[in-house]
Every structure is written in C-alpha cells, then in structure tokens.
Amino acid sequence: MLTLNDSSLLTDSCLLDGAWVKARSGATIAVANPADGSEVGRVPSLSPEEISKAITAADRAFQGWRLLAAKDRSIILRRWFDLMIANSDDLAAIMTAEQGKPLAEARGEIAYAASFVEWFAEEAKRVYGDTIPGPQADKRLTVLRQPVGVTAAITPWNFPAAMITRKAAPALAAGCTMIVRPADLTPLTALALGKLAERAGVPAGVLQIVTGEARSIGKVLTASDTVRKLSFTGSTEVGRILMAQCAPSIKRLSLELGGNAPFIVFDDADLDAAVEGAMTAKFRNAGQTCVCANRFLVQRGVYDAFAGKLAERVAALKVGPGTEAGVAIGPMIEEKGAAKVEAHIADALAKGASLITGGKRLGGLMLEPGVLTGVTTAMAVAQEETFGPLAPLFAFDTEEEAIAMANDTIFGLAAYFYTRDYARVVRVSEGLEYGMDVVAGASGRAVLLPEAPVLADRDNGGAAAIQDGRVATPGVKGAIAG
Ligand code: ADP
C-alpha cells in the first residue's frame, strides 16, 4: 500500500475537459509494481469516442488559452512548477511504485521534469518574432510565432514525468493545448501531474491526460484533423507507425526514438572518469533509457584495466526494490525486458564472450547488472538495444575503427567518448553520426546531455558548445526530441 502525504494525488480517473472521469464502459487497466507484482492502482480504459471528446474539448479550450497574455500563461506554469517541487516526495513515491526506479532517481526525475515547466514558464514571455529585409524596397517580411493548436503527446514508461513535462510545458507556454496519453505501465505519475496542473490553474481542456489501449488512442489522435501536432517518445517501430498514421493529415511531428549508443574509451582517457561516466550512462534506470550506453568500445591498450575497474564498480551495485535504502538497480519494468537482457547474455556467451560479473536473475524482475568481455559484432548486443543493466565490452585498435564501429547501426540518438586529446575530440565528434555527443575533454568530466531537449540539427549546423574544457555537440540525426 502506497502511503502519500497527499493521497488525492493517486487517482483512478482521467483528466478530461476539466473533470476527473472513469471510462463510460467501466473498463480499467491495472498498474503493477514491478518490484513485487502487486497492484498499485487502476486507471480507466477510455473508448475512441471518449478520446474524440477530449479532442473537441482541447479545440474549444485552445480558443481561450491562446488569447491569454503570455505573462498569464507563464504565471500558471510557474505555479505548476512550484506544486511539483512541493509535492516531489509523493510524485517520486508514485513513480517508484509503478516504474521501479530507486527513490533517489525518481526524486531526481521529478526535479528534472519540473525544470522543463520552470524553463518554459519563463520562455512563455519570450516568444519573439523576426523581421527580415524584404526583396523589394516597399516590402517588409515579419515572422510571427503562433501556437499551432491542439497537440498530442504519447510518452514512454521509462521517464513517467519528464517525458510529459518536456512536451507539455513548451506546448502550453506557446498557447497550445495538449492531450497526453501516458504509457499504460506508468500512468499514475502522469495523472498526479494532471492533479497539480489543475491546482495550478491550468484551465479545463488545456491539458488532458487520457489512458487506455495504446493503438486505438493512437489511431484517434493521429487521424484527427483537429490535432495539429504529435510528439512521441518511444520505440522506432511505433514511431514509424505513428509517422505513417500522421501522413494523411500532414501533422507536425517530433519523434525521439530508439538508440544504440556507443561509449568509446580511448587509450589516453582518464580511466576513472570513464568508469564513473559509464556507471551513469549505462546503469541509470537499470539501463532502461533510450540514451543508455549500449556498446562499450574500448581501445586495446586499456581494455583489461577498464574492464577490471568497471566490473568492480558494477559488482558493488545493490539490486532491489526502489524503496529500499542504498538500492542502485531496481527491477526491470516487465518480463519482456528482463528476458531480452537474458537472451543477449546467452547469445554472447554462446558466441564466445565471457561474463566477468553479474548477469543473473535474482528473482522476479530483478537482474544483477553484468559486464561482458570478448564481445564481437557478430553478437546480438552489437545491433539491438539491450535496454537493461548489461555492459558489453568490444575491443578496437585505431580511432578510425572505433568511429566505424560506433556508426555501424541504424540508430543515431546519443554517443559518448572519453579522450584527453583535444584534436581527437574534434575529429571523433565530427565523425560520429549521432545527435547527442557526450564528450569528456580536457577536464576529464563529461557534459551529459541525455534526455535534454535537442537544440539543433547537426545537418542544419548544430553548434558545438565549448566551456571549461568540456565539449558538447547537441544535434540530431534521425531523432528529434519533443
Ligand atoms: P517501449 O518499448 O518503450 O514500451 P513503445 O514504442 O512500445 O516503446 O511505447 C511507447 C509509448 O507508445 C507507450 O505509451 C505505448 O503504450 C505507446 N504505443 C505503443 N504502440 C502504439 C501504437 N501503435 N499507437 C500509439 N501508441 C502506441
């Protein structure tokens, strides 16, 4: 039983046109705690007709919301941020109960999720336009930025709060309305955010949170001409389906899809910094993030040393329920995910790799974090996203080989590399075909941009931000954050 300071944040209803409603059919979906399989709550399974009503309400609400002064939208968003911070213990408790991540990580995610609301509350007042010299003396070109209208968000289970605020805060700040369909594995955090948005004064229909069967809701949202934009974070397969479904109405789309992030350690890297970075890049949320390092490419001269140091740190990670003190690795979200990690280990071992630590099932959905050495590109871990607490170590000899191995995937979301050679930082950063490069440069400290809103398209001249000896290249290849 989940004990909260404010029990009203845990709800079994959806936020539809300013009211908290159940499905007319009475249908519900159970939400399970992945740590022990117990039921955390139930949420409505809304019908396509009920989703259509949400779209109508969002359209109606848009007419008023867009006309508010930006300052007034900003004040409401700022109140939402304040309420998220004030209720962060409860929000984190709900998140850990339905998602499994350790409480400390859940609290961190709430702060991160709230930061989007804070940021866009401020940016709401700064939606500037442009004036451009006209082609003729009597012409002036003026660019106005206007809200696109009703928007929809479909979000994943691995960041049950941040993936919602990252989409909803900019939409609301701009004057759009939004319908959020959270993942069915983690809808309770989303609904709690809806409770706080309502208390903050977000008007009826401006932000709606709907739950139910993914495919049917996705179809209604994408088929609607009223919904002008869809923002989706999730798997590449589902992204492809949604993109196709959005084509007939030529909807605007923001997609953040799968990854297969390389984590490259060069001979000249600060190995301790690289191990430290690897722990975060690989084991956050038990390896269940789209920007998680999936393939460790380690130069032969430091391979054994890196493997030894990493294995020592990984063996010390405590696995267990996210509510238990000191736990660093919570349960996998569901059996399918745990089984995939086990299949990747079995495949690698059958093809000659060695498991130097961990990799065992501890019961239920608890997996020991593992490190594999002697991994080759013939193994499944080379091409598929493992999405779990497993670090496979590939060896390489030259920089060119590392770049080629890193790019040998259809994914291009995030990449990490460690070196102390500044010229190499530039070469490798430019050679990696990835949207987000995380680099440990001269200071040996990485600039982490995971899950950050992507700032620019590399092909559109994505800028390199260089500060304090640390280098980050935000950009996009095939994946755009919502
Ligand atoms: P993951 O593997 O992370 O669960 P998915 O892409 O399957 O990634 O899911 C991401 C989100 O998309 C979830 O909220 C899920 O319920 C939803 N979803 C899955 N399939 C569809 C679909 N066909 N249409 C709309 N939403 C979908």
pLDDT tens for the chain, residues 1 to 482: 799 999 999 999 999 999 999 999 999 999 999 999 999 999 999 999 999 999 999 999 999 999 999 999 999 999 999 999 999 999 999 999 999 999 999 999 999 999 999 999 999 999 999 999 999 999 999 999 999 999 999 999 999 999 999 999 999 999 999 999 999 999 999 999 999 999 999 999 999 999 999 999 999 999 999 999 999 999 999 999 999 999 999 999 999 998 899 999 999 999 999 999 999 999 999 999 988 999 999 999 999 999 999 999 999 999 999 999 999 999 999 999 999 999 999 999 999 999 999 999 999 999 999 999 999 999 999 989 999 999 999 999 999 999 999 999 988 889 999 999 989 999 999 999 988 877 764 444 444 433 333 322 232 222 222 222 222 333 322 222 22
Distance between CA 227 and CA 482 in Å, rounded?
A: 15
- Asked whether the beta carbons of 34 and 331 are under 8 A apart, the reply is yes
Distance between CA 99 and CA 116 in Å, rounded?
A: 21
The answer, yes or no, to whether any atom of ligand 1 lies below 6 A from the CB of 17, is: no
Of all protein residues, whose CA lies closest to atom 19 belonging to ligand 1?
Answer: 214
- Length of the chain, in residues: 482
The answer, yes or no, to whether any atom of ligand 1 lies below 6 A from the CB of 235, is: yes
Structure-block tokens of residue 155 = 């979000």
Supply the DSSP symbol for 454: P
Torsion angle, CA of 242/244/248/250, rounded to 10 degrees?
70
Structure-block tokens of residue 473 = 């290249």
Distance between CA 67 and CA 70 in Å, rounded?
A: 8
Residue among 154, 246, 290 whose CB has most ligand 1 atoms within 8 A, to mutate = 154
Four-residue CA torsion sign, 32, 314, 450, 345? negative
- Report the atom number in ligand 1 closest to the C-alpha of 236: 6
Distance between CA 418 and CA 271 in Å, rounded?
A: 8
Give the Cβ contact number of residue 202 at 10 Å: 26
Catalytic, 256? Answer: yes
Of all protein residues, whose CA lies closest to atom 25 belonging to ligand 1?
Answer: 218
CA distances from 372 to 208, 251, 344 (A): 44, 43, 10
Cα-to-centroid distance, 379 and ligand 1 (Å)? 27
Which pLDDT score, from 0 to 100, does residue 457 have?
A: 28
The answer, yes or no, to whether any atom of ligand 1 lies below 6 A from the CB of 290, is: no
The answer, yes or no, to whether any atom of ligand 1 lies below 6 A from the CB of 184, is: yes
Which pLDDT score, from 0 to 100, does residue 461 have?
A: 25
The answer, yes or no, to whether any atom of ligand 1 lies below 6 A from the CB of 75, is: no
- Asked whether the beta carbons of 440 and 460 are under 8 A apart, the reply is no
The answer, yes or no, to whether any atom of ligand 1 lies below 6 A from the CB of 234, is: yes
Of all protein residues, whose CA lies closest to atom 15 belonging to ligand 1?
Answer: 183
CA distances from 340 to 12, 201, 344, 347, 389 (A): 31, 43, 6, 10, 11
Which pLDDT score, from 0 to 100, does residue 482 have?
A: 24
- Report the atom number in ligand 1 closest to the C-alpha of 237: 6
The answer, yes or no, to whether any atom of ligand 1 lies below 6 A from the CB of 183, is: yes
Selecting among 98, 118, 256, 399, the annotated active-site residue is 256
The answer, yes or no, to whether any atom of ligand 1 lies below 6 A from the CB of 238, is: yes
Q: Which of 236, 238, 237 is nearest to 221 (CA)?
A: 238
The answer, yes or no, to whether any atom of ligand 1 lies below 6 A from the CB of 215, is: yes
Cα-to-centroid distance, 214 and ligand 1 (Å)? 6
Which pLDDT score, from 0 to 100, does residue 471 have?
A: 29
Of all protein residues, whose CA lies closest to atom 9 belonging to ligand 1?
Answer: 234
The answer, yes or no, to whether any atom of ligand 1 lies below 6 A from the CB of 214, is: yes
Q: Which of 40, 357, 23, 394 is nearest to 213 (CA)?
A: 23
Cα-to-centroid distance, 235 and ligand 1 (Å)? 7
Burial (CB < 10 A; 0-12, 13-18, 19+), residue 426, is middle
Cα-to-centroid distance, 182 and ligand 1 (Å)? 9
Cα-to-centroid distance, 237 and ligand 1 (Å)? 9
- Report the atom number in ligand 1 closest to the C-alpha of 242: 24
Of all protein residues, whose CA lies closest to atom 2 belonging to ligand 1?
Answer: 235
Cα 465 to chain center, whole Å? Answer: 22
The H-or-E segment that residue 28 falls in is strand 28-32
Q: Which of 284, 321, 323 is nearest to 35 (CA)?
A: 321
Cα-to-centroid distance, 238 and ligand 1 (Å)? 6
Distance between CA 256 and CA 115 in Å, rounded?
A: 19
Cα-to-centroid distance, 186 and ligand 1 (Å)? 12
Q: Which of 472, 436, 434 is nearest to 454 (CA)?
A: 436
Of all protein residues, whose CA lies closest to atom 13 belonging to ligand 1?
Answer: 183
End-to-end alpha-carbon separation of the chain, Å?
34
Distance between CA 253 and CA 228 in Å, rounded?
A: 9
Which pLDDT score, from 0 to 100, does residue 160 have?
A: 98
The answer, yes or no, to whether any atom of ligand 1 lies below 6 A from the CB of 178, is: no
Which pLDDT score, from 0 to 100, does residue 431 have?
A: 94
Residue among 189, 238, 256, 260 whose CB has most ligand 1 atoms within 8 A, to mutate = 238
